Amino acid sequence: MIPPDTLFLGFLIIIGLCFGSFYNVVILRGLSGESIAFPGSKCPKCNTPLKWRHNIPLLSYILLGGKCSYCKCKISIQYPIVEFFTMVLFVCAYLKWGFTIKALFAVIYFSLFLITSVTDILERVILTKHAYILAGAGLFYSISALYYPSLINNLNSDGNPIFISISGIIIGVLVMEILARSGYLIAGRRAFGEGDSYIAGALGAIFGWKYILLVLGSGFIIQFLFALPLFVHNLYKQKENTAIIEFALFLVLAWILKAYSSSLGLIIYICGLILLVFIAAILIRNIIRNINKTSGGTYLPYVPALIAASFAGIFLWF
């Protein structure tokens, strides 16, 4: 006899895959402006309506060999990836928090995180309605924690959770807008899109003022680690030798200040820090100019990194 927990886990895997299939509809039709209910599923290439057997999450993609059953055009790998990751997130939420209200809210957060990340990666678009829903879910959770503390243990429970969430929204938006508008001083353009500020505010509703700065900072670190190789590669291709030298100086100076901070004199250490900040400012200016030159726009894709930090934050602090 199969244990009940194993049965429920199997059921959860199926539910997660089905929701992932639905999220693909939300993502693509949200970008195109179509209704998520009508018309029914169709091939995006030949517009032929699909049968039920073409819509089995993950399995249909494998059985069809990643091609439309009618026109034989390739099906985007986005479909099975979103379905798979949704299933994984559903299972992880259950394994972490069990069959609880907290797990339900975590699933809602994870779902919105995933949808927002994919729209940003695909079209560099942040739909404001997704940010509003995310902020609303965070505020609703805080209200529930205030009135039903026995059911929900909020990460902002050591204070008024509603006030902490609202403060988090304000701080998230303000920090992102200050950073975005600082791009005008460095490169004459915004450093981030406006959608990033909406998402930062929405995450502030979840994490509150106590954790939102940690999430934003972690997002910048993740973004830096992923963008760094591409940035250096672009500099090399464009023969920007001066920028490469500046970057090398930054790394060497940062390592010296870190490794010999105890043996350096106070005045030398302060002068080193000032020089490090100066080099960093030049690097940031070059990064923004490089992005504008190579992509033809002002957008710096920060939301996926921010969302990755949020996933980690939910598992660590929720």
Place of tokens 């990033």: 196
- Sole residue written with tokens 């928090």: 97
Identity at 146, one-letter amino acid code:
L
Least trusted range by pLDDT, from 24-38, 216-230, 282-296: 282-296
Q: Contacts by 160-163 with C-beta closer than 8 Å and gap 24+?
A: 161/208
CA 66 to chain centroid: 27
Evaluate if residue 297 carries a pLDDT over 50: no
- State pTM to two decimals: 0.77
d(CA 316, CA 26): 28
| Residues 297, 294: Cα–Cα separation, whole Å | 8
At 6-49, the pLDDT tens digits run 788 889 999 999 999 999 999 988 887 777 777 778 777 787 88
> Who's near 180: CB < 8 A, 6+ residues apart?
190, 191, 192, 193, 194, 196, 197
72 close to 65: Cβ distance less than 8 angstroms: no
DSSP 8-class letter at 50: P
Highest mean pLDDT: which range of 149-163, 166-180, 291-305: 166-180
Among the listed residues 291, 180, 296, the one whose alpha carbon sits nearest the alpha carbon of residue 227: 291
Tokens of 126: 């942040």
Tell me the C-alpha distance between 164 and 172, whole Å.
12
Residues 6+ apart with CB under 8 A from 14: none
